[in-house]
Amino acid sequence: MKRTQNHEARDQNVSASDIRANLNDHHVRSRTQPVAWTGWDLLNGETVPTLTVVLRTRGCYWARRKGCTMCGFVCDSNPSATGPDIYREFLGVLARFGKEFKIIKIFTSGSFLDSEELSPDVRNAILAELKDVPKTIIESRPEFVTDENCEEIARSNAHVEIAIGLESSNDYIRERYINKGFTFRDFIRASKAARSSGFTVKSYLLLKPPFLTEAEAMRDTIQSVKDTTEYADIISLNLCNVQRGTFVEKLWKKRLYRPPWLWTAVEVLTQTAGNMPIICDPVAGGMRRGPHNCGICDHEIVAEIRRFSLSQDKASFKTTCADKVLWNFVLEFEEYSYGAPLVP
């Protein structure tokens, strides 16, 4: 990778947590209620109904200490949450939506397995409630996916999948550009611990962290999918979007960052499909802060990416648009623009 204007910005060493420290209260959306919604996802090749619950815990410890460059989850935390409150709120969601879902996702905007966020008693009680659900997805940083924690939650008899935000298999990119604070080896160790307790593993990959050109980002994600195949059962491709109060937002405001093109996502999905399930929900797709193309074809392509996620069928991608010429130009020439996006 060439050294670029963006790399200079990185060297200013402004940490994500420094930026958040300057956030107004107005930006910090501390909430005391869990958020829940229903949807569809892929389970053993079938499209199944899902329930997603975001519990308002104190949030990710890493976000408070250093933070990842693209993550604004700290804005969704509730620093004063107590275990009994969280459990009561979780039961409230079940009372409202029921448990008749094939997949239930329990997210905390942090790590479900971090005892500082959710005490072992609370997390075990939550999982015990879900033991008859075919799949319960929880998220965790790898340092909490230990043999001890896995053996403990396995006693709940829930069918757990542990989702880990690997983002990239490239240690340099993950460490220097995302500030993730763990290595690919840490991910592999966590994956083995999860699998030895009978759990499946989902790996989140991030398309287009800051400081990469469009072409570098595409190559990095395609390589990451290949490297991860052995250690994950499913990949969730996250298309980077510009969240408030993040380092990425700071770059974006200076026109030093552009979210990925939807064409890049389509190319990654097309090139990697078939080896293992790979799903993608283009959050903020078609918006300036989200992955986007020219504005004319975005809506159709976002829908096709969602269709592909549920079918894994490359034939889902049918749309063509004149801006593909522009995207190809960006892929070829962006490295000569010293890292600045050529097209907004």
**Whole-number minimum distance, CB 77 to Zn ion, in Å?**
37
The number of CA neighbours under 13 Å toward the Cβ of 338 is 4
**Whole-number minimum distance, CB 308 to ligand SF4, in Å?**
24
Residue placing its CB nearer to ligand SF4 in the complex, 68 or 103: 68
Retrieve residue 308's tokens. 């592909």
Q: 54, 35 in Cβ contact below 8 A? A: yes
**Whole-number minimum distance, CB 66 to ligand SF4, in Å?**
8
Residue placing its CB nearer to Zn ion in the complex, 205 or 301: 301
- The helix or strand, by DSSP H or E, that contains position 137, with its residue range, turns out to be strand 135-139
Q: For binding to ligand SF4 (CB under 6 A), which residues are involved?
A: 60, 62-63, 67-68, 71, 73, 110, 141, 165
CA distance 133 to 102: 6
Our finding on whether 323 is near Zn ion (CB under 5 A) is: yes
Contact of residue 187 among ligand SF4, Zn ion, none (CB under 5-8 Å per partner type): none
Rounded to 5, what percent of the chain is helix, strand, coil?
Answer: 40, 15, 40
User: Which span (26-34, 134-142, 172-180, 285-293) binds Zn ion, by CB under 5 A?
Assistant: 285-293
Residue placing its CB nearer to ligand SF4 in the complex, 167 or 298: 167
Our finding on whether 293 is near Zn ion (CB under 5 A) is: yes
**Whole-number minimum distance, CB 165 to ligand SF4, in Å?**
5
Residue placing its CB nearer to Zn ion in the complex, 76 or 323: 323
Strand partners of residue 94: none
CA distance 281 to 174: 21
In this structure, are strands 200-207 and 160-167 parallel, antiparallel, or unpaired? parallel
**Whole-number minimum distance, CB 109 to ligand SF4, in Å?**
6
Please name the residue ranges forming H helices in 46-176.
61-65, 83-97, 120-129, 147-154, 171-172
Q: Which of 28, 321, 326, 340 binds Zn ion (CB under 5 A)?
A: 321
Contact of residue 260 among ligand SF4, Zn ion, none (CB under 5-8 Å per partner type): none
The number of CA neighbours under 13 Å toward the Cβ of 198 is 12
**Whole-number minimum distance, CB 63 to ligand SF4, in Å?**
4
Contact of residue 321 among Zn ion, ligand SF4, none (CB under 5-8 Å per partner type): Zn ion
- The helix or strand, by DSSP H or E, that contains position 278, with its residue range, turns out to be strand 278-280
In this structure, are strands 46-54 and 35-43 parallel, antiparallel, or unpaired? antiparallel
Residue placing its CB nearer to Zn ion in the complex, 156 or 293: 293
Rounded to 10 deg, the angle between the 214-228 and 324-333 helix axes is 90
Our finding on whether 319 is near Zn ion (CB under 5 A) is: no
Q: Nearest 5°: CA angle at 187, between 182 and 192?
A: 150
Q: 228: closest CA among 170, 313, 308, 141?
A: 170
**Whole-number minimum distance, CB 256 to ligand SF4, in Å?**
20
Our finding on whether 127 is near Zn ion (CB under 5 A) is: no
CB neighbourhood size of 254 (10 A): 12
CA distance 145 to 276: 22
Site for Zn ion in 241-260 (CB under 5 A): none
Contact of residue 278 among ligand SF4, Zn ion, none (CB under 5-8 Å per partner type): none
Residue placing its CB nearer to ligand SF4 in the complex, 36 or 60: 60
Residue placing its CB nearer to Zn ion in the complex, 21 or 296: 296
Contact of residue 71 among ligand SF4, Zn ion, none (CB under 5-8 Å per partner type): ligand SF4
Residue placing its CB nearer to ligand SF4 in the complex, 58 or 258: 58
**Whole-number minimum distance, CB 242 to Zn ion, in Å?**
20
Q: Which residues here bind Zn ion, judged by CB under 5 A?
A: 293-294, 296-297, 321, 323
